[in-house]
Amino acid sequence: MSRIGAPTGERLRIGIAGVHVECSTFTPHSTGYDDFTVRRGADLLALFDFTRPGRESWAADVEWVPLVHARAVPGGSVDPDAYARLAGELTDRLGRCGPLDGLLLDLHGAMHVAGRQDIEAELAAEVRAAVGPDCLIAAPSDLHGNITEALVAQLDLLTAHRLAPHEDEWLTRARAARLLTDCLRRGVRPAMAWVRVPVLLPGEKTSTQQEPGRGIYGGLAAIEALPGVLDAALWVGYAWADEPRSAAAVVVTGTDRAQLSVQAQELAERYWRARDAFSFVGPTGTAREAVEAAASSPLRPFVISDSGDNPTAGGGGDTTDLLGLLLADDRLAERGLRTVYAGVLDPEAVARCAAAGVGGAVDLLVGGRLEGADGRPARLTGRVDFLTADDPDGGPTAVVTARTVSVVLTSRRRPFHHIADFTRLGLDPHGSDIVVVKIGYLEPELLDLAAGWIIALTPGGVDQDLIRLGHRHLTHPLHPFDPAMPDPDLTPRLFPPGPAAERSGGPAGAVSGAAGSAAARAGADR
């Protein structure tokens, strides 16, 4: 069924689905089926606020059809059986849900499944086969995705977050859904101009909290305001995936193919020209230098990012390089420097703490299990200060204090992004001298907390030192791996394929009769 061009007032049927995870191929952690939070039915719709009746005027007169949505904390490669189960359920539900006018396909863009190289494109192709050629598919994604032409070719609209940290992640999904709805109502099948930019930088250098990321991302709104443009998106890519596709990319979506091509190329060239201006969002040092800086700083609390093992970027969450240095540093105890370390994944150690009880003495070897041959547990001898059997993020969790260092031990990989993540474990980050978090750039509440800050360039699954990681499958030349590379050809490719000058919403036959006039109106509407 094709109802592109359904007049306003006619009820649209739009499905919502997604498989959303970011995978480091450098961590031995494996993301299994149980690591995903899988939502269906009303539970799925509750996640997408705009589907609530009366919430958004553009979302009225839409039957939102919940399919299946799976999301996991970033981690290692997705287990192939887990992926097959999720993708199978999605295509099965698509086959049984009846005709859809549109589909919102929520992707991250940096999922990895062992043995596959571009899993989002494979998934999108399966989804396309299930919904047919007439259904419009819009995909919101994370700007840390690696976006190929094979993926773009299956979609009608693809956009990404514009802020890192991703304070706008739900705005991105709502924007994609609104644009999809608008296109369906106006009979527009959008075109997309895609270009790969051969630059691969870590997220900690491309935050939108500082230049040049802030200015480049800040410019996207002006591009999408141009006649014939609906959306502009830039992906910095995901550096910890050792795949041929890993690189930055630009997609500009709209109706004026010539305009899309011009804007996509300009945006790509702007990113390419800025490549050497990206720098870490804060001061950096080795693990030893970070401990030195924290111990000697007059700024309290002083925050250390244990960046190589950041679970929200895909780190395993149990490396102990930095923790070991802190526990061995006599200055912290001598100077009474209250230190919080959040945290280490170690369910067995948590169980031993639970057996000892609050106030009990423990002598533990913690962490260092996931990282294989390189992993070393740290010796933690102290007192159990806090226990919970069911922290909503970390599962069974313990806090053990060794002299002045309090260490959070968790049973599940989890982020520490909010002050409440600490206070509900009985910890007081504001009253601490040193706060260490497995994170890269600081989320807003941690940025507010930090009187002083350093990013420790620790080893791990999301090591910020990309060169020492030793990728083997990247497509070369690629900055910064090939420092002498020439300026690349940044001519965009247009989807659906056709001449750039063609001013229409797509290939003849793919758009209903209303589409031509709708496409012509699109400029004025924006």
Residues near Zn ion, by CB under 5 A = 142, 144
Nearer to Zn ion, 175 or 257 (CB): 175
Write the CB contacts of 167 (distance below 8 Å, at least 6 apart in sequence): 444
Q: How far is 65 from 68, CA to CA, in rounded Å?
A: 10
Residue 191: what residue type? A
Q: How far is 224 from 255, CA to CA, in rounded Å?
A: 11
Nearer to Zn ion, 65 or 199 (CB): 199
Q: How far is 29 from 388, CA to CA, in rounded Å?
A: 24
DSSP state of 429: G
122 closest CA partner among 102, 105, 143: 105
Task: Report whether 442 contacts 450 (CB < 8 A).
Answer: yes
Nearer to Zn ion, 14 or 19 (CB): 19
Nearer to Zn ion, 144 or 189 (CB): 144
**Residue nearest Zn ion by beta-carbon distance:** 144
Minimum distance, C-beta of residue 268 to Zn ion, in the bound complex (Å): 20
Minimum distance, C-beta of residue 342 to Zn ion, in the bound complex (Å): 20
DSSP SS3 for 115: coil
Nearer to Zn ion, 207 or 406 (CB): 207
Nearer to Zn ion, 109 or 368 (CB): 109
Task: Report whether 20 contacts 106 (CB < 8 A).
Answer: yes
Task: Report whether 197 contacts 207 (CB < 8 A).
Answer: no
Write the CB contacts of 403 (distance below 8 Å, at least 6 apart in sequence): 332, 333, 382
Task: Report whether 506 contacts 519 (CB < 8 A).
Answer: no
Rama region for 244: left / alpha / beta (φ>0; ψ in -120 to 50; rest): alpha
Nearer to Zn ion, 224 or 443 (CB): 443
234 closest CA partner among 37, 314, 247, 226: 247
Minimum distance, C-beta of residue 372 to Zn ion, in the bound complex (Å): 26
Residue 133: what residue type? P
- In total, the chain counts a number of residues equal to 526
Burial of 330 (0-12, 13-18, 19+ CB in 10 A): exposed
Minimum distance, C-beta of residue 74 to Zn ion, in the bound complex (Å): 8
Minimum distance, C-beta of residue 81 to Zn ion, in the bound complex (Å): 26
Minimum distance, C-beta of residue 24 to Zn ion, in the bound complex (Å): 12
Minimum distance, C-beta of residue 453 to Zn ion, in the bound complex (Å): 20
Q: Kindly state the tokens that stand for 389.
A: 């059997």
Nearer to Zn ion, 118 or 142 (CB): 142
Nearer to Zn ion, 144 or 352 (CB): 144
Minimum distance, C-beta of residue 310 to Zn ion, in the bound complex (Å): 11
Minimum distance, C-beta of residue 464 to Zn ion, in the bound complex (Å): 15
